[in-house]
Structure 1
């Protein structure tokens, strides 16, 4: 019974943390939005600036996307490939706890990377739409893994590869952080 309570507390902690972070994201996104007078539309209908609207937008994009993509590969993709999420696997509960925290971390970093992409005209036109979809796709993939369906993990990996390739073609190489600190 004590173990069950401990597992429930561990699994609920990320949800509580995510709830607390939501209000700050709303105010952050409004302060970094590009001005309406200096925008053009990207292929997905989003407004893209005609010049940089944030200092070091590419650098911040590389940082946030590298952290997000590195966390995905370390805490979701590699355990999935190793079979750690399968029923009866050693370390399954730990993998799910780390995966849940990582999914929240990834969503946050992708949101921050998306804001930086929208502040740079080249990146905005090239990868704003696919990058914005990754945050929700990661959460959906993790939810599917909990139910035994791992198909979403491969689709997220494909989306990340596509964004990395597109970003590289536009002169911005993303270096994944193999050891992201998802706890702090």
Structure 2
């Protein structure tokens, strides 16, 4: 059983991290993504930029999911009584919110390429279903199904990208990238 001090510290850390994440999400990355394409570019160049941004955002989502959700789950860190469970669940919750944010940005990026947009379109409902899961993950609720949901959506996005010529590889985000959200 964690000590009251460690629980309090985890609560303060969670509050601070959530505040940073909400602030970064409220600032939005969608405007940055749309501004990243120069206005005088050809359609082919815009499609190339769309694929590049899609791969970058989806890769960050995949890396965060693997590093802070799937890997600790497989190591048994989310089980009741596990050493470091609270910290692992808080990190997983934050990674889940980051993953959702990056996947939303990736689907917006995909709209710039017709083939990629067609491949990713069926996945939007799955991505939207992830929205409320980070809070449940932080609380330790039904971690098996939540981890499987994140892993399944990430694998679907990777498959869709590969089929459209935009192969996604895991890229573990730095702490700075997590804060930017």
TM-score interval for Structure 1 and Structure 2 normalised by the shorter chain: 0.7 to 0.9
Greater shift after overlay, 75-84 or 18-27? 18-27
Distance 2:58 2:30 in 1: 21
**Kept after mapping to 2: 8 A contact 1:75/1:99:** yes
Q: How many residues align?
A: 166
TM-score (normalizing by structure 2): 0.76
- 1:122-180 residue CA offsets vs partner (Å, 9 max, x unmatched): 11111034156426516416615634412121122122212211221121111111x32
Correspondence for 1:154: 148
Greater shift after overlay, 106-115 or 138-147? 138-147
Change in 2 beyond 3 A, CA 1:17/1:132: farther
Change in 2 beyond 3 A, CA 1:79/1:139: farther
Check if 1:23 corresponds to 2:26: yes
Instruction: List gaps (5 residues or longer) in structure 2.
Output: 36-42
After TM superposition, the runs of 4+ consecutive aligned structure 1 residues lying more than 4 A away are 29-32, 50-55
Q: Cα RMSD over matched residues? A: 2.8
TM-score (normalizing by structure 1): 0.75
Distance 2:64 2:124 in 1: 15
Check if 1:119 corresponds to 2:112: yes
Instruction: List gaps (5 residues or longer) in structure 1.
Output: 33-49
